[in-house]
Structure 1
Amino acid sequence: MRPAPAPANGRAIGLDVARALAIAGMVLVNFELSLTKSAEPSWLAALTSLVQGRASALFVILAGFGIQLMATAQGDLRRTRVVVLRRALFLAAIGYAFLPLWPADILHFYALYFVVGAVALGRSARGLWIGATIVVVGFLVFGLPVYDRGWNFETLEYAGLWTLEGSLRNLFLNGFHPVLPWSAFLLWGMWLARRYRSGALRGPRPIVVGAAVAVVVELVSRGLIAAAAGDDDLAALVGTASIPPVPGYMFAAGATATAVLLGCLYLVDERDALPHRVLRPLAHTGQLALTLYVAHVVVGIGAFHETGADLTLPETVAWWAGFCVLAAAASHAYRTFFATGPFEWLLRRAGGRSSPRAPVSRPD
């Protein structure tokens, strides 16, 4: 197969659209976690549960995809590693500054994923697979036995988070998005980028395969949970929930995210199937994903915490939909005047320019 054609401006706009979907899903999950007083009606709770742990997995896979594309475009692994590691330091700084305000923060975990990505640059496809397998198995060996340590799962508070032992345990083994096994998503994203550039993952077939794998894993998991006959510990081991991130979850979330990512690339970059009046706001939203991540906590959640209001689940979903519309409109308006979002600009300044001159992406 010949390689997938590159967009005219040098940027895969489908990645921006996928990033917009990822941030929208993460906002929904976090709004429900922070603002909702009851999970009723049950049918709506079942629908919102479909994105729990999946949107953030897509976010991490996109990071791996982007790191690999950066390395390919740059052609200088040493220089790319420096950029990735400097960006990791920036993400760690703002993530830990953000953590007292938002205990479910992913940015400080993201920083360690970037370190893993920097180490993995230049490794063979087999090496990426081996690395992903090691971190998944490493969680089962080292993380799962201590997964409940420090946690109050009813309040989602973590005791000893600011001690050295508690911080390291939370970061690597049993936090919301621990390095073991979540960095496997980043390695998977790097592998996907290589395969996509080679032309092996073009067309609808890989999308269907990813979706089918996700469905099969979910069905098998449900059958095993039913067979567990009320054994909560066994049900957790064979489940697909993100807490704890057991292999069933990793496969289900990874396959779902892969289908969404490849679907966006197929519809946007391969088929040009989205109307531009829809594509442009979505792409611009994805290009400001880091800024919107910060904004959804400071504005989207903070506004209600200041008033002490608790929302019903339908009210939360309505606020989420309104926030997403406002975010897309604001991002689209902002990108009319500025090439980069404020936090994205800081991230690039911290990491240094990854190429001599990067074109501005404005899908027309």
Structure 2
Amino acid sequence: MTGETHRILGYDFARGLAIIGMIFVNFKTVMVVETDAYLYQLVELVSGKAAALFVVLVGVGMTLMYQSAKAKNDVGEIRKVKTILLKRAAFLLVLGLSYYSIWPGDILHYYGLYLPIGILFLSVSRNWLQTLSFLLIIAYSAFLLFFNYEAGWDWTTLEYTDFYTVNGFFRNFFLNGFHPVFPWIAFLLTGIWIGRINFNNAKVRKRVSLFSLTLFLVFKSISLFLIDNLSQLSPTKASDLTYLLGTTPMPPMFFYMITASSLAVFIISISIYISTKLSHTLFIKQMVSTGQLSLSNYFFHVIIGMLAIKLFFRKLEFAFSIEFTIVYAIVFSVVIIFFSHIWCMKFKKGPLEYIMRKITG
């Protein structure tokens, strides 16, 4: 296989990992009441990280499409790619909102703005992409010091009470939803930056892997150190310090954004390496297929995964133990992986991927 093919397989492998991670996190979020149980905390470590990886990979995909058109040195082709991306943004917006009442943590409808904003940065230099991402993260973290992040939220049910009002919809969409445009657009910019890296060069790939892993470990350590030491100095402020300095996705503060971005870059670089070395193995092929059907699999984990539980048990939200939920997530993930592999042996596109291509080009 060519280096380019291995690189694409690596991106699909990473998408497969992101989908499986989101299945575990989302099932946990919906089905389990927050607890100190070890398994719950283990899944919590992935919370926000898998979704961030998913968005970074969307940025990578945008860059690959743009570079392919740019290589033809045809303004018409570049315009065509941007038009397709805008159509896909509209498609994903409608698709995500269509089942919002079932899964308010949907990420697809946010792409309705991620993609149009990303189009504006496809030709921006890599240095500027890094700078803008960092400034955006800093600005949002500072903004939350003055903004009521809990506005609209009922944390006992994870419902956004005024989502279907104009103010509530835009507040959720842009500022304090599950994956708000600001600052989550920084993940997309990171993906646009990553898509330009020559991962076929082993030295470049190694350098990116080491740098991103180091960045993750350093900022994760700083976060833990600050929370632990400052909490000891002011025990009554411990929860506020965790809120401001932690690495959980809600709110998406500075340390979360930096650690999630760097971890996503590390996973992508390692996925490309693994796919290069082990592309012939069944597991890699299965995970690549899972990534190739990422849109369909994300949709299925809501429409089939969550609805099946609700129809069978007549309950869903905060009604199950973490042990049951983990087992169910494992079983559902295995089914998704096998389904994806068998489907890709017969068809080039997943069910929803095919529909989206037919509608948007």
Out of 188, 191, 199, the position equivalent to 1:189 is: 191
After superposition, where does 1:275-354 map in structure 2 within 5 Å?
A: 275-306=280-311, 307=313, 308=315, 310-352=319-361
Equivalence for 1:252: 259
Is the contact made by 1:280 and 1:332 (CA closer than 8 Å) also made in structure 2? Answer: yes
Q: Distance in 2 between matches of 1:44 and 1:197?
A: 35
CA contact (8 A) 1:61 1:188 kept: yes
User: How much has 1:351 moved relative to structure 2?
Assistant: 2.6
Equivalenced residues, count: 344
1:247: Cα distance to partner? 0.9
Query: Does the aligned pair in 1 maintain the 2:152–2:160 contact within 8 Å?
Result: yes
Q: Give ranges in structure 2 of 5+ residues lacking alignment.
A: 71-76
Aligned CA distance change for structure 1 residues 337 and 274 (closer, same or farther; 3 Å): closer
Q: Does 1:31 align with 2:27?
A: yes
Task: Determine the structure 2 residue equivalent to 1:70.
Answer: 65
On the 8 A contact 1:36/1:313 being kept in 2, the answer is: yes
Match of 1:47 in 2: 42
Q: Cα distance, 1:132 vs. partner?
A: 1.6
Alignment of 1:51-62 (within 5 A): 51-62=46-57
Q: Equivalent residue of 1:111, what SS?
A: helix
Provide closer, same or farther for how the CA distance between residues 94 and 143 of structure 1 changes in structure 2, counting only shifts above 3 A. farther
Partners of 1:38 and 1:313 within 8 A in 2: no
* Structure 1: gaps spanning 5 or more residues: 353-364
CA distance in 2, matches of 1:79, 1:215: 41
Native 8 Å contact 1:204 1:266 kept in 2 = no
Letter in 2 for 1:317: I
- After superposition, the Cα gap between the structure-2 partners of 1:253 and 1:201, relative to the gap in structure 1 and judged at 3 Å, is farther
Matched residue of 2:3: which SS? coil
Alpha-carbon distance between aligned partners in 1 of 2:301 and 2:251, rounded to the nearest angstrom: 25
In 1, Cα distance between equivalents of 2:203 and 2:121? 21
Q: Secondary structure at the match of 2:103?
A: coil
**Structure-2 separation of matches of 1:176 and 1:200:** 36
Distance 2:196 2:203 in 1: 9
Name the residue aligned to 2:157: 155
Deviations 1:195-247 (A, max 9, x none): 23684874434223222221221111111111232312232111111010001
- 2:169 is aligned with 1:171: no
- Residues 224 and 235, structure 1, Cα contact 8 Å, conserved in 2: no
Q: Secondary structure at the match of 1:120?
A: coil
Provide the C-alpha distance between the structure 2 equivalents of 1:156 and 1:228, rounded to a whole number of angstroms. Answer: 29
Deviation, 1:159, is 1.6
Q: Retained in 1: the 8 A contact 2:199–2:269?
A: no
C-alpha separation in 1, matches of 2:144 and 2:79: 32
One-letter amino acid of the counterpart of residue 250, structure 1 = M
Distance 2:298 2:105 in 1: 12
SS in 2 for 1:194: coil
2:241 corresponds to 1:234: yes
- The offset of 1:137, in angstroms, is 3.3
Residues 26-60 of structure 1: per-residue CA shift (max 9 Å, x gap)? 010011111124636x3222321221110000000
Could you say which residue in structure 1 is the equivalent of 2:73? none
| Distance in 2 between residues matched to 1:122 and 1:211, nearest whole Å | 27
Distance 1:202 1:12 in 2: 16
- CA distance in structure 1 between the aligned counterparts of 2:212 and 2:138, rounded to whole angstroms: 22
User: Equivalents in 1 of 2:87, 2:259: separation in Å?
Assistant: 32
Alpha-carbon shift at residue 275 of structure 1 (Å) = 4.5
Structure 1 position 254, deviation (Å):
0.8
**1:36 and 1:296 mapped to 2: Cα distance?**
16
TM-score (norm 1): 0.89
TM-aligned CA distance change 1:133 to 1:350, over 3 Å: farther
Secondary structure, aligned partner of 2:195 = helix
Counterpart secondary structure, 1:6: helix
Contact 1:225/1:235 (8 A) holds in 2: yes
Q: Once superposed, what is the RMSD of the aligned Cα atoms?
A: 2.0
